[in-house]
Amino acid sequence: MDTNINCKCCNYHKNFQHVLFENDSVVCVADDNNILIGACYIIPKAHKETPFDLSEREWIDTKKLIDITKTYLDTKYKPDGYNLGWNIGEVGGQFVYHSHLHVVPRYKDEPFAGKGIRHWLMQEENRRINNLKTPR
């Protein structure tokens, strides 16, 4: 395990309120969050800036923790759906430069129910000029 002194995720035991699950190469952590109830993160124990840097073992272990975490969240919170996602790079919304998969339970009674992870990006005001032809 890397212990990059300035990295929130490398020092997950100190920086997150709850370590929910872990295996050899990744850990699932959560904070007490009063808005996104049940939300947590799956992070590699080794310092990896983005998911593109993960090893095959870390991908396999991430999938295992996704399954364990879903079972736990289904039992404890009974969500109606989920969003899973990574923010990568500053433009992509990443401000913690240690790869972390957001696992966000979703509920049918929340104000943004039915709005997926691309909803905000697909708004007309986010349109940019594209001079490239997209192959179909």
- What is the tally of structural domains in the chain? 1
Q: How far apart are CA 3 and CA 129, in angstroms?
A: 42
> Is 3 among the domain residues?
no
d(CA 79, CA 74): 6
Any idea which residue has 């590699």 for tokens?
Answer: 44
> Residue 6 domain-assigned?
no
2: in domain: no
Domain limits for position 78: 12-126
Model pLDDT, residue 103: 97
Would 131 be classed as within a structural domain? no
List the strands of the sheet with 40-44, edge to edge: 18-22, 26-30, 40-44, 101-106, 81-85
Question: What is the pLDDT at residue 136?
Answer: 65
Alpha-carbon distance 91 to 99, whole Å? 15
Residue 16 domain-assigned (yes or no): yes
pLDDT reported for residue 53: 98
Question: How many CA atoms within 13 Å lie on the side-chain side of 45?
Answer: 14
Query: What CATH number is attached to the domain comprising 118?
Result: 3.30.428.10
Intervals of the chain under pLDDT 70: 1-5, 133-136
Residue 4 falls inside a structural domain? no
Residue 91's pLDDT is 94
